[in-house]
Amino acid sequence: MRLIVLFLAYILSLAVMVAAYGATARDRPAPRPSAAMVPAPPEDQAFAQFVRDFRTTAMAAGITPETYAAAMGKLFRNQRVADLNLNQPEFAKPVWSYLDTAVSPQRIADGRALLIGDADILAKIEAKYGVPREILISIWGNESNYGRSMGGYNMFEALATLAYDGPRADYARPQLLAALKMMQREKYAAADMTSSWAGAFGQTQFVPTTFLNEAVDGDGDGKIDLWSSVADALASTANVLSNAGWKAGKPWGYEVLLPKDFAYEEADLDTPQPVAKWRKRGVRTMLGDALPPSDEPGSIYLPAGARGPAFLVFPNFKTILKYNNAASYALAVCELADQLKGAPAIASAWPRDEQPLTRDERLALQNSLAVLGYDIGKVDGLIGSKARAAMRAWQKKHDLPADGFATENLLTRIAMEAKAKGL
Ligand code: CA
């Protein structure tokens, strides 16, 4: 599971530190070219010291000196991983661009071929864990393009680089320890343990802590190999979803039509309501029919605000968030799964003319809302639940659809009002 999203807040909060780090690197004199006997740069020495110190932690956790030496003995700080760790994307990718890639015609065609090719494996996993085969194939496609992009970094090098310093150290340290336990328990060769730069590995991109707790031997050969055994990877993924509460035979959700007078402030992933209530509110299926009855509550999810498609999502949708905590990821998984089954694509148009706000714009939005007296928590450039609630309140006050979705138009209007108040 990739945990990148969870640490975005951390990266943003450390922007100042990043700037300072850059300045230090620039001020350092360039190494001399004929460096046969020159001592290692201070950065490398400090990293080597970290690797020595971490050995104590590993020994205390039951890692043998042999395992530690084999995994960590000849390790260098990976500069590319360090750079990626500090890189902060200026724009978040809009959800429709993300879906264009995640649910492309090629992804659908490849996934359908695998549904046929791996039908025996999939039938067994589905029967045991109750997770539909299309969901499993879809997670496989979303995580590694069906095993084509599993990441080619040395897992120990990547995790040790992240654990040494920077915004993901708190995440990477337990992962590094878990990677050592994995190696020792499963008798892997360190060189075979490849991962993404963030330490996720295998066909469905597990992280080491999840591997230790939830990976299973799907093909029954006595070993767990998430790199080369598709049965192991898909059974392990099914086990994660099952443990997260996936309910067999229940839908993830479906696209819906909202009435013109819909109270958009009620559309929130975190506030599920009985389906009977949404029926009363005039929410309908895409064919215009009444919503089918359900014994589960559902949330109205608007990935792109009031101008984009709307979905009624059930608890199974939320279990995918436990696999990867981004609603756009869960939507991509569910949409690809539906289209593997031949279900129609999302029918409503995306507001493709909208550009996601830049970090500066998000900061300006938060500042303006704060000036207008709204509680938006920390001004950190991240649009969280408080900022959304503030935008909804502002929208409601101005008789606008209260979807809490940040757009440039909304920013302009809120900033103008804040300016008039003396910002
Ligand atoms: Ca196996």
Pairs from 322-328 (Cβ < 8 Å, separation ≥ 24): 322/240, 322/241, 322/244, 323/1, 323/139, 323/237, 323/240, 323/241, 323/244, 324/1, 324/2, 324/5, 325/3, 325/5, 325/6, 326/5, 327/269, 327/301, 327/303, 328/95, 328/98, 328/99, 328/303
As given in the structure block, the two tokens for residue 113 are 């071929």
Q: Are residues 53 and 166 in the same domain?
A: yes
Contact between 400 and 263 under an 8 Å Cβ cutoff? The reply is no
Domain identity same for 268 and 417: no
In a shared domain, residues 185 and 69 = yes
Tens digits of residue pLDDT in 193-243: 999 999 999 999 999 999 999 999 999 999 999 999 999 999 999 999 999
Query: Is residue 92 situated within a structural domain?
Result: no
Whether the model pTM is above 0.85? yes
Residues 50 and 187 reside in one and the same domain: yes
- 182 CA to middle of ligand 1, Å? 14
Same structural domain, 265 and 402? no
Q: Examine the domain organization and report whether 182 and 292 are in the same domain.
A: no
Residue ending a domain, choose from 169, 184, 201 = 201
How many angstroms separate the CA atoms of 300 and 288, rounded?
Answer: 16
In a domain? residue 72? yes
Distance of CA 122 from the midpoint of ligand 1 (Å):
15
State the pLDDT at residue 22. Answer: 32
pLDDT band for position 323 (50/70/90)? confident
Rounded to the nearest angstrom, the distance between the alpha carbon of 216 and the centre of ligand 1 is 8
Residue 32 has pLDDT above 60, yes or no: no
Q: How far is the CA of 235 from the centre of ligand 1 (A)?
A: 10
Inside any domain, residue 392: yes
Per-residue confidence (pLDDT) for residue 7, from 0 to 100: 42
Q: Is the pLDDT of residue 374 over 90?
A: yes
Q: Is residue 207 part of a domain?
A: no
Which one has a higher pLDDT value, 22 or 399?
399
Tell me: the pLDDT tens digits for 245-285?
A: 999 999 999 999 999 999 999 999 999 999 999 999 999 99
43 and 185 fall within a common domain: yes
Mean pLDDT of 388-406: 96
State the chain's mean pLDDT as an integer: 90
Domain range for 72: 39-76+151-201
- Bridge partner list, 257: 284
Question: Is 6 inside a domain boundary?
Answer: no
373 in any annotated domain: yes
Same domain, 374 and 418: yes
Q: Is the pLDDT of residue 36 over 90?
A: no
pLDDT band at residue 351 using 50, 70 and 90 as cut-offs = very high
State the average pLDDT over residues 96-120: 97
Question: What residues form DSSP beta bridges with 253?
Answer: 313
| Same structural domain, 296 and 418 | no
Task: Report the range out of 6-10, 89-93, 98-102 with the highest average pLDDT.
Answer: 98-102
| Distance (Å) from CA 409 to ligand 1 centroid | 53
Average pLDDT over residues 393-404: 96
- For residues 304 and 387, membership in a common domain is answered with no
Phi, psi of 248 (to 5 degrees): -60, 140
Residue 17 has pLDDT above 70, yes or no: no
Which CATH number fits the domain that encloses residue 387?
1.10.101
pLDDT tens, 45-80?
999 999 999 999 999 999 999 999 999 999 999 999
Q: What is the pLDDT of residue 43?
A: 78
Ligand 1 centroid, distance to 217 Cα (angstroms) = 4
Percent of the chain clearing pLDDT 70 (strictly above): 89
Centre of ligand 1 from the C-alpha of residue 222, in Å = 6
Query: What is the share, in percent, of the chain residues with pLDDT greater than 90?
Result: 83
Q: What pLDDT is attached to residue 245?
A: 97
Same domain, 173 and 293: no
344: left (phi over 0), alpha (psi -120 to 50) or beta: beta
Is residue 37 predicted with pLDDT exceeding 80? no
On whether residue 289 sits in a domain, the answer given is yes
Q: How far is the CA of 120 from the centre of ligand 1 (A)?
A: 15
- The answer on 321 and 260 residing in a single domain is yes
**pLDDT tens digit sequence for 177-206:** 999 999 999 999 999 999 999 999 999 999
Task: Please answer whether residues 180 and 211 qualify as being in contact, where contact means their C-beta atoms are separated by less than 8 angstroms.
Answer: no
Other CB atoms within 10 A of residue 399 CB: 7
The pLDDT tens digits of the residues spanning 158-169 come to: 999 999 999 999
Least confident of 38-42, 79-83, 356-360, 407-411: 38-42
| 124 CA distance to ligand 1 middle (Å) | 14
The 10s digit of each residue's pLDDT in 131-140 is: 999 999 999 9
Q: Does 8 or 139 have the greater pLDDT score?
A: 139
The number of distinct structural domains making up the chain is 3
Question: Does the residue 316 lie in any domain?
Answer: yes
pLDDT above 50 (res 16):
no
Strand partners, 290: 284
How many A from CA of 362 to the centre of ligand 1? Answer: 47
For 283-296, the pLDDT digits (tens) are 999 999 999 999 99
